[in-house]
Amino acid sequence: MKSVMKFALALALAHARANTVIKTSAAPSGPSGAAQGIVDGRGRLTTSMQYGTDPATGKLVPGGASAQMIQAMTNIAKVFAAADLEIAQSGTSCWLYGFNATTFGDISGAYNTFFPDAAHHPARNPTGATLVLEGALVGVSCRGFPQGGKRIAPADFFASDFNAQGLLVDGGAHLFTSAQVGADPVTGDLVSGGAASEARQAMSNLAVVFAAAFPALGAAALAERASECQLMIVNDTGSGAAASVWKAVEDEVATFFNAGSLPAVSITGFPAGSLPIPALVAATCNGVGASANRTSLASGGGIVERVGGTMLLQANPTYGEDVSAAFGATAALFDEAFPNLATAGAPAAALRSAATACELWLADPAADADAALASLSALFVDLPALTVTKAALPTARRTDGPVALQCFGSHTNSLPDAGGAAGVHWSWDMSELVGGTCKKESGNGTIVPGSGGNTGQQVASCKAQGHTLTLHCRVNVTAATSASASGTPTTTTTGSAGALSLQAHFTNSGYPRPPHTTHFDGPVVHSGCSTIDLSVIGQCCFV
C-alpha cells in the first residue's frame, strides 16, 4: 500500500510541478558543473552525462570500460534516487557513449545488470562518440518517468533484443525508441546497398515501432507523431566525397515525413567501429501521443508538444563558429517557442528559464573542450542537464561553423491571476481548403478575459470556396463549472471558482449557404488546450 501511495504521489507531482534541478552529493556533477538532472513539468527526468567517476575521489575508477560503465550507471542511479525514482523501474531511455565494437559486449553486459526486470527495460541508443574527459572510456545519460512506461514489442521484430524497441510513457503522451540500424528485423542481417539503403531500412524499422505504439495510425504513425530524430553515420568527416553520402542519408530519411513537417533532426558522424555491428547508419526517433499536440515552430527550428499544462520544445541543432554563436541561435528558437518567457533587455531569458537538457557537439578533434564548456557555462549561468562529445557535423548544415548545440525545453503553465491577461498559443490547419487564402498557421498572443464577447478574440481568418472562416480564442473568469457559449454540445471542464478558462471558437460564414454562419466550440479548459477537431483542426492553448 505504501508503494502504491508513493507512486500516486509521484504522478500527482509529475503533473503539477515546474522544472526542478536535481542535486545529490552521491554522484558527480554534470560536465562543467551542469545540473545532474532536471525534472520537467510532466515529471520526466533527464540526466547529464555521467562518466565512470567515483564521487568520493573525483577520479575515474580503474578496471577498464566495464568497471567505468558500472560506476557511470551507479552515478545515474543516484541521480534517479535523488529525484525519487528507481532506475530499474523508471528508466525510459539511455544513451551510451564512447564504446567501440570490441568493448561493446562488456559495456552492454554491465549496463544490463541495472535493469533486471524485462518489463522495465528502457530504450537504448549506443554510439561511439568521442568523449572529452581524458581517460574516460564510456559515458551515459538517461531519461526517466515514474514507473517507466509501456513496452512496445512488434511481432517478429528483433525478438531476442534486451532493450525495449519502444516505450510509451506519461499515459501514452510520449514514445521513446531504441536506435535502429539497417538490419532486417527477423534475420538480423544488414541490408546491402550502402549507407542510404541502411538508412531506409533503419527508418522502416522505426516506422514499425511507431505503428505498434499508435496502431490507429498504422504506417502513417511515424510521419504524424515523430517529434525528434537523431541520425548517426559511421563517417567521421562529413565533407569532401563523404558529403554526398551524408546528403543521401538525409534525403532518404526525409521521405518518411510529410513535406514541411520534419521533426527536429540532428545528424552526427563517428569513426568506423562506432556501432555494435558493422553498420553504416543508426537512427532513433521519439514521438508524441496525439497529433493535435504536435506543432512546428513557424521558423522550422523545432517541434512543440503540449501535454496538459506543459509545453515541451524539441529544438533543432544550431551551428556556429563558436559556442556563443550557437547559443544565440538556440536562444532565438526558445524565444519563439516560449514568448511569455522572453524578456526585453535580457537575451536568452527563455532559454535559461526553460531549458531542461542540452547536447554540445564539437566537430574539431583538436577543439578545447574545457574552454567550450566554460563558455557555455558562463552563457547559461546555471547549466541544465548536459552532454558533450566530439563528432563530425554535416557540411551542408554547419555553414556557420564547427560547433553545434541542441537544447530541449519545458514550461508548465503559471496562469495569471483571475482578471489578468493570459498568454495564448493558437494554431489551425486549413491547408486542405484550396482556392483561397487558407493554410496551416500558428501564433502567440495575450488575451484579456472577456475580450471579444461571446466568441472571444479573433486570432486567424481565411477565405476559400466562398466561405470566410475564423478562429477565436476566448478567455474568461469562470465559475466552478463552464459551458459552451453556442448551441453546439461540448465537453466542459470543472475548475475552481474564479479561475481563468480558455475555449476555442470556430466560425464558418456562408455554410451551408450564405448568409448563414455556423459555430463550433472546443471544450472549456483551465490548463492545456481547447481543441476543435472537425475536418480541420484548430486549437487555443494556455502558455
CATH topology for the 1-148 domain:
60s Ribosomal Protein L30; Chain: A; (3.30.1330)
- The ranges assigned to domains in the chain are 1-148, 151-296, 312-411, 422-542
Distance CA 317, CA 534 (A): 34
Determine contact, residues 422/416, Cβ cutoff 8 Å. Answer: yes
Overall CATH class of domain 151-296: alpha beta
What are the C-alpha distances in Å from 357 to residues 295, 342, 383?
Answer: 20, 18, 9
Residue with cell 536568452: 348
Q: Do 51 and 81 touch, CB atoms closer than 8 A?
A: no
- Under a CB-based contact definition with an 8 Å cutoff, are residues 540 and 452 in contact? no
Domain at 312-411: CATH code:
3.30.1330.40
C-alpha to C-alpha distances, 31 to 36, 269, 334, 355, nearest whole angstrom = 9, 22, 22, 16
Low-confidence ranges of the chain (pLDDT < 70): 1-18, 160, 235-241, 291-293, 308, 344-345, 394-400, 413-421, 478-499, 511-516, 527, 535-536
Q: CA 453, CA 55: separation in Å to the nearest integer?
A: 60
For position 98, what pLDDT does the model report? 86
What's the distance, CA 495 to chain centroid? Answer: 29
The model's pLDDT over 461-504, given as tens digits with 9 standing for 90+, comes to: 999 888 899 999 998 875 433 333 333 333 333 333 346 788 99
Query: What residues have CB less than 8 Å from 344, skipping those under 6 apart?
Result: none
Q: 3-state class of 457 per DSSP? A: strand
Q: Are 312 and 410 in contact (CB under 8 A)?
A: yes
Contacts of 196 (CB under 8 A, 6+ apart): 245, 248, 249, 251, 252
Give the type of residue at 490. T
Residue pair 495/503 in contact by the 8 Å Cβ criterion: no
- Residue 463 burial (10 A CB sphere; 0-12, 13-18, 19+): middle
> At which residue does the C-alpha cell 521558423 appear?
299
Enter the pTM of the model: 0.75
CB 99 within 8 A of CB 389: no
Do 151-296 and 312-411 come out as alike in CATH topology? yes
> Across 291-354, where does the E strand assignment appear?
294-296, 302-307, 310-315, 318-320
For residue 118, the 8-state DSSP code is G
